[in-house]
Structure 1
Amino acid sequence: MSQPPMLFSSARHAAQRDRIARLPADANFLAPIIAETLRDRLAMVTREFPRTLLIGVHDGALIDHLRASGTALTMLEAGLSLAAATGALVGEADAIDLPFASFDLIVWPGGLDAVNDVPGALIRMRALLAPDGLLLGAFVGDGSLARQRRAVMAEGVRSIARLHPQIDLSAMGNLLQRTGFALPVVDVEALTVRYGNWFALVRDLRAAGLSSRLAPAPPPLTRDESARIAAAFAAQADADGRVAEIFRIVHFSGWAPHPDQPQPARRGSGVTSLAEALKPKD
């Protein structure tokens, strides 16, 4: 049976990641924000994690934090240069090949929404976790960059897919359940960033590794198309001339099943908080 065509290009992903390695450390504004939220969520967990897998070396402070916890840290990175600079293994999250039950904690600070096989990647994460191990991550989710999405549909711009599809909260929760995670929790945090022009947004997206990696690559924008998109983006500005763009950061967590874990609340009861779900078994 033939394989379905790939939605995303691994080669373009690796090139994007290596571009990050060449930029100043502060160019990627989003990485430290996501890293801080993940550190805050880890602080809710009172247990120790002897073995940790970090997918994507997005933020040096997060790496330092994990190492300071005393865990044995393994890192996975798609970019060859970035992997070489940080000592990470090279590979894609949906194709990682490591022994089962190798880790007690997997931290994934961005990128789940742009792998070719999202359920397959989650199944791999579940298999890599030891019983009662924790998967904790975040990604830019559904509802993000709404003004850019409207701008690229401006009159005179070719109708070609250029932006990634997005995963929403309910889909992510269902995916965690379907792939065997216990006590799945998904929540969202909206981050508003104000831009003076569309080109500044594009620079931020490239610095954060969020530019398109669709396969095949869409044809480059013409100068006229770029101008039309920039004008359509600027037309959505507030009174101060700046456009408020929203990044919806979806946070997710799930535990590898263990007999001693508490049972989740009845679906729809709404009584289980993130803090409660992150607590380990007694």
Structure 2
Amino acid sequence: MSSLVFDRALYRRRLGRALAAGYPDFLLARCAGDLEERLSAVLRRFGLAADLGSALPLAAPALRGKAEAVLRLAENPDAGGGSAADLIGDLEALPFAAASLDLAASLLSLHAVNDLPGALVQIRRSLRPDGLFIGCLLAGQSLTELRQVLLSAEVEATGGASPRVAPFADLRDLGSLLQRAGFALPVVDSESVTVRYGDLFALLRDLRAMGWANALLERSRKPLRRSVLLRAAELYAERFSDPDGRLRATFEIVWLSGWAPHESQQKPLRPGSAKARLADALGVPEIGTGEKPGGEKTGGEGER
């Protein structure tokens, strides 16, 4: 069985059409603002920075505020936003030499790669020692409402269902991937953004306008039946509407950051290397493992 999830060629074609038609930037603009805020907390300057695959050139202002020079890698020749890309390439085959970047950022693009662990390894290798990677992607519970109603409606109508919404990585898995890729001081956090729509079809129009229509390799090649879409719209309104009748769509944006290892970075202490006891600092008696206050031993099992 193939380990590939996405038809990357189809994804890039759809992204190109979306950019040519005026890609809506409401989520990207939010992420660009968050990137600027997060970088403002980093008290140093960088040499060469790169924007890795963000659909529009919205990361550049934040990167220019921290770096001497900025390159933009786009995945589509139509780079969007009226700004030509410096490089056209694939996030799964980065065209950067090892240790050539000081800062790398990516906004809402890494969730559409087939080999996210490999992409993170390549990003880490492209960074000079003590270089920083920071980026965000859709993950976790993104579009959970749409996934649920499409599945329910198709099962009702046909007795089965094909994948309609891309799988998204779990927050805990992403932290592990950063560590496996060799990043030092990895940090992962998430923000759930709720966007409200008049109906299901308005949400689907936005997803198509951003090039995010179904590009799964295992997708059905048959168009979704109208009756299934109408039933999905009914279920969405029943399950996920606010009192004013508008529908909620969840986008869980997960931020990742990590540093290329360098000897100057803080290292965790070895177990047993502490020179002072926590009990002394708190001014309380130390209680050994397996003891209760007063010296009683605790057992391995107990009742509630």
TM-score range, shorter chain: 0.7 to 0.9
| Cα drift, residue 68 of structure 1 | 5.1
Identity within the alignment, %: 38
Check if 1:257 corresponds to 2:261.
yes
1:116-155 equivalent positions in 2, closer than 5 A: 116-153=114-151, 154=153, 155=156
| Matching residue of 1:193 | 195
Q: What one-letter code is carried by the residue in structure 2 that aligns with 1:134?
A: L
| Cα drift, residue 28 of structure 1 | 2.6
| Matching residue of 1:11 | 9
Check if 1:159 corresponds to 2:157.
no
Q: What one-letter code is carried by the residue in structure 1 that aligns with 2:211?
A: G
For residues 58 and 75 of structure 2, the distance between their equivalents in structure 1, rounded to whole angstroms, comes to 19
Gaps of 5+ in 1: 267-282
Cα deviation digits, residues 6-64 of structure 1 (max 9, x gap): 21112112112212322336x23111011111111111111111111111243434223
| Cα drift, residue 162 of structure 1 | 1.5
For residues 230 and 268 of structure 2, the distance between their equivalents in structure 1, rounded to whole angstroms, comes to 52
Q: Are the structure 2 counterparts of residues 185 and 265 from structure 1 closer, same or farther at C-alpha, using a change threshold of 3 Å? A: farther
Q: Which moved more, 1:134-143 or 1:86-95?
A: 86-95
Q: Which has the higher contact order (CA 8 A, sep 6+)?
A: 1
For residues 189 and 111 of structure 2, the distance between their equivalents in structure 1, rounded to whole angstroms, comes to 15
1:1-282 equivalent positions in 2, closer than 5 A: 4-24=2-22, 27-67=24-64, 69-82=66-79, 85-153=83-151, 154=153, 155-156=156-157, 158-219=160-221, 220-236=223-239, 237-264=241-268
For residues 219 and 147 of structure 2, the distance between their equivalents in structure 1, rounded to whole angstroms, comes to 18
Gaps of 5+ in 2: 271-304
Q: Which runs of 4+ in 1 moved over 6 A?
A: none
Cα deviation digits, residues 152-175 of structure 1 (max 9, x gap): 011216500111111111100000
Q: Which moved more, 1:65-74 or 1:217-226?
A: 65-74
| Matching residue of 1:279 | none
Contact 1:13 1:79 in 2 (8 A): no
Contact 1:30 1:208 in 2 (8 A): no
Contact 2:55 2:79 in 1 (8 A): no
- State the SS of the aligned residue for 2:233: helix
Q: What one-letter code is carried by the residue in structure 2 that aligns with 1:210?
A: W
TM-score (norm 2): 0.80
Cα deviation digits, residues 80-128 of structure 1 (max 9, x gap): 2227952232222111132101100110111222211111111101100
Q: What one-letter code is carried by the residue in structure 1 that aligns with 2:98?
A: F
For residues 265 and 73 of structure 1, the distance between their equivalents in structure 2, rounded to whole angstroms, comes to 36
Contact 2:57 2:83 in 1 (8 A): no
Q: What one-letter code is carried by the residue in structure 1 that aligns with 2:10?
A: R
Cα deviation digits, residues 196-248 of structure 1 (max 9, x gap): 10111112222333332211543221222222222221222222111122111
| Matching residue of 1:271 | none
TM-score (norm 1): 0.86
- State the SS of the aligned residue for 2:46: coil
Q: What one-letter code is carried by the residue in structure 1 that aligns with 2:48?
A: R
Contact 1:198 1:230 in 2 (8 A): yes
Q: Which moved more, 1:156-165 or 1:129-138?
A: 156-165
Q: What one-letter code is carried by the residue in structure 2 that aligns with 1:123?
A: V
Q: What one-letter code is carried by the residue in structure 1 that aligns with 2:172?
A: S
For residues 117 and 65 of structure 2, the distance between their equivalents in structure 1, rounded to whole angstroms, comes to 32
> Paired residues, what number?
264
- State the SS of the aligned residue for 1:60: coil
